[in-house]
Amino acid sequence: MPAPNLFLIGVRDVESATAFYSDLFEIEPTFISPHYVAFEVAPGVLFALWTGYSDHAVPGTPRTSEVGLMVPGAATAIDEIFTSWASKGVRVLEEPHEAVFGRTFVIADPDGNLIRVSPVD
């Protein structure tokens, strides 16, 4: 059975969202169109931004899913990412803390999409 290979995030403005994610994750898009931008995050796996949900990509709308960045190494690696991202002025929703799966924090992109950093499972 094939595994999921496209992770799609709804945004209001694909250009500003592209700039945000390019800076945050230090990656460049592999495909750009006026309403859809894709980043190849692993061979054959895309993280994409799409304006097709722009009516619902409102910062105040509660979210029940998250973009995840699992970080190898000690908990201090997560704190270092938090410090780096906080210096960029991201909106912090949860400061670094210990959860059942280890050290974690959550920020939001300009459209309110959640981004969690945590240790590798």
pLDDT tens digits, residue range 9-21?
A: 999 999 999 999 9
Q: 65 and 114 in contact (C-beta within 8 Å)?
A: yes
Mean pLDDT of the chain: 94
- 64: tokens are 């029940």
Q: What percent of the chain has pLDDT over 70?
A: 100
Please compute, for residue 33, the number of CA atoms within 13 A of its CA located in the half-sphere on the CB side: 8
Mean pLDDT of 62-88: 94
User: Which residue has 């094939």 as its token pair?
Assistant: 2
